[in-house]
A and B are shown apart, each in its own frame.
Chain A
Amino acid sequence: MIDTPIITTRRSSGTDKNSDKFLQLNVGPSHPATHGTLRILVKLEGEMIRDMKLEIGYLHRCFEKMAETHSWNQVIPFTDRLNYVSAMMNNVGYVMAVEKLLGIQVTKRCQRIRVIVAELSRIIDHLVCIGANAVDLGALTCFWYFFRERENIYDLFEAACGARLTTSYTRVGGLLADLPEGWTSWCRKVIDNLPRTLDDVEGLLTGNRIWIDRTRGIGVISQERAIDYGFTGPCLRATGNAYDVRKAHPYYDYDQFDFKVITENAGDTYARYLVRMAEMRESIKIIRQALDNLPEGDVNVNDWAITLPPKEQVYNSIEGLMAHFKLIMHGIRPPKGEVYSYSEAANGELGFFVCSDEQGRPYRVRVRPPCFAIYQAFPEMCIGQTVSDAVATLGSLNIVAGELDR
């Protein structure tokens, strides 16, 4: 194995006449404040960051290559592991792309269930983001409060699909299964408890002198620069731009739900915290409305070339058996073509570009990860501030390595 040190702390050397002035510090790729496998090199003058370089790819798991060697439905488990904090939204984003390529509409009930689980996982994502950000700044209590709620939502997911984290709940043209009995009333109970926890944490943080001092005016980015860097999601909305895919290009009847797009103008860490906090309340509103208007009916489209036939048909009719066999052995074959589909994930616009050559496997799946664009701007947001401010900023950007490196 390689034994040359990777982690170095050294005075910069060389021809620079100020060489004694600067200290070069390596943070990561395994560091408590990097939230995963990020590596940051900073050039310090005292405690001030004068320059910064980022190194990524420490979790490059070859998602796009793996997708090309699996059938369309087999890609879904890989999408779980992109943004593993909110796997449901990746599932939904991916199948939306394949359904767009197929040119089909899923049933109303399926759409509503997808909205519910996606909004639940948005809440989880924001809980983890704010909780971890607060831990980095020394506020451990919020983390415990949030994780209690998060466990409740994971229990819901486990009841619906059997897994807590890596859900794989959606299928092209439908879902793995309908919601189990009693799930909706259980879900109502869980989201009814949420606002109390949010109030508790808001009471602890929003007016907290330490929290404000550590976050306000830290990691500022202007709206113009944010747009230039391709920011989307809460990080863009914290700069004052109200772009939200759910409002701008409503999918799954998001235009019929009553919710607000939260914006803040400061573009700093505090603004991003406020946006995330308020978005969770909006998500709760959406889930309530979706639960109230959850129609009865099938969750899968009635096309046996796309979804599996019901079990009675498989066991009792030759057509059902054949359809089942063909779908398992050959998979779905979307028509030739390329589409780009996008949805609002917790970090911003999650895009999937899919290309089919009718061979039963994706010819190409390209994921547009929101983190990738956001993380590029990180040096610009940190230069001129202290190292501890960089930690606060990084936490508020919610960089998930699985999505960043894929």
Chain B
Amino acid sequence: MTQDKNPPHASLINPEDADIRNVAFTTRLEDFVNWSRKNSLWPLPFGTACCAIEYMSVVSSHYDVSRFGAEVVRFSPRQSDCILVLGTVVEKMGPVLREIYDQMLEPKWVIAVGVCASSGGFYRAYHVMQGIDEVVPVDVYVPGCPPTPEGIIYGMMKLQEKITKGGIVRARDRHKLTGK
């Protein structure tokens, strides 16, 4: 790359003088969109039980999830794109979770935090749903009962990885484009 004597902002002011390589870079659209998506997750904490208490630690001063761009906690499903299911979901709660998931706009992701949300945990009982994947599709499972705040943050980083690799077209529209 040739080094321009002018600083970059100067090139911006005089585009005709500038070497294009100093003011722009090329990338794939998917990479760019995914990069911005993964760094601005707006989580919806669907807190039911113990894991929700740990999530309080994740967002508060000590662990500070804003380092990963995911601190804008929204309690409205219409304003968020990542739902964290924190805690046991029982049969009575299942339809509520589904309804909230349906209210979220695409793109949307689900993290099942803790073993209860992942598989029912040690509650093999008459009223406990054996994993939320019975009602909503799950992107990341975080083990632990409850997971440590580090664990929850690791789960969010895993989701960021997944977003980086994913497409930007909605799953339900993909078959229209590809014909499959």
Q: Which of B53, B90, B135 meets A59, CB within 8 Å? A: B90
Q: Which of B46, B56, B122 meets A30, CB within 8 Å? A: B46
B88 with A6: CB separation less than 8 A: no
Instruction: Please judge, given known A-B contacts A147-B57, A164-B148, A165-B146, whether A61 and B90 are in contact too, CB under 8 Å.
Output: yes
Inter-chain CA distance A31–B92, complex, in Å, is 16
Q: In angstroms, how far is the closest chain B Cβ from the Cβ of A46?
A: 24
Asked if B128 is an interface residue, CB under 8 A from chain A, the answer is yes
Asked if B12 is an interface residue, CB under 8 A from chain A, the answer is no
B96 with A29: CB separation less than 8 A: yes
B61 with A144: CB separation less than 8 A: yes
Asked if B140 is an interface residue, CB under 8 A from chain A, the answer is no
A164 with B60: CB separation less than 8 A: no
Inter-chain CA distance A59–B128, complex, in Å, is 8
Q: In angstroms, how far is the closest chain A Cβ from the Cβ of B32?
A: 33
Instruction: Please judge, given known A-B contacts A61-B127, A66-B125, A148-B61, whether A36 and B52 are in contact too, CB under 8 Å.
Output: yes
Interface size classification for chain A: 35 or more
Q: Name the residue among A66, A148, A154, A165 with the largest chain B CB count within 10 angstroms.
A: A165
Q: In angstroms, how far is the closest chain A Cβ from the Cβ of B154?
A: 16
A59 with B50: CB separation less than 8 A: no
Q: Name the residue among B46, B56, B128 with the largest chain A CB count within 10 angstroms.
A: B56
Asked if B33 is an interface residue, CB under 8 A from chain A, the answer is no
Complex interface bits, A388-406 against B, C-beta within 8 A gives 1, otherwise 0: 0000000000000110000
Chain A residue numbers with a CB within 8 Å of B125 are 61-62, 65-66
A30 with B90: CB separation less than 8 A: no
Asked if A329 is an interface residue, CB under 8 A from chain B, the answer is no
A147 with B50: CB separation less than 8 A: no
Interface size classification for chain B: 35 or more
Inter-chain CA distance A62–B127, complex, in Å, is 7
Instruction: Please judge, given known A-B contacts A2-B98, A61-B90, A66-B123, whether A166 and B50 are in contact too, CB under 8 Å.
Output: yes
Complex interface bits, B55-77 against A, C-beta within 8 A gives 1, otherwise 0: 01100111000000000000100
Instruction: Please judge, given known A-B contacts A144-B61, A165-B50, whether A6 and B56 are in contact too, CB under 8 Å.
Output: no
| Chain B, Cβ-Cβ closest to A29 | B96
Inter-chain CA distance A32–B44, complex, in Å, is 10
Inter-chain CA distance A57–B122, complex, in Å, is 19
Complex interface bits, B27-56 against A, C-beta within 8 A gives 1, otherwise 0: 000000000000000000011111011101
User: A-contacting residues of B (Cβ < 8 Å)?
Assistant: 46-50, 52-54, 56-57, 60-62, 75, 87-88, 90, 92-100, 102, 122-123, 125-128, 135, 145-146, 148
Having A36-B52, A58-B93, one finds 18 other A-B pairs with CB under 8 Å, namely: A1-B94, A1-B95, A2-B95, A6-B96, A7-B96, A29-B96, A30-B46, A32-B75, A59-B93, A60-B92, A61-B88, A62-B128, A77-B122, A84-B53, A147-B56, A147-B61, A147-B62, A402-B49
Jot down 15 A-B pairs with beta carbons below 8 A, ordered by A.
A1-B98, A3-B99, A29-B96, A36-B49, A36-B52, A58-B93, A59-B48, A59-B87, A60-B127, A61-B128, A77-B122, A78-B122, A80-B50, A147-B57, A166-B50
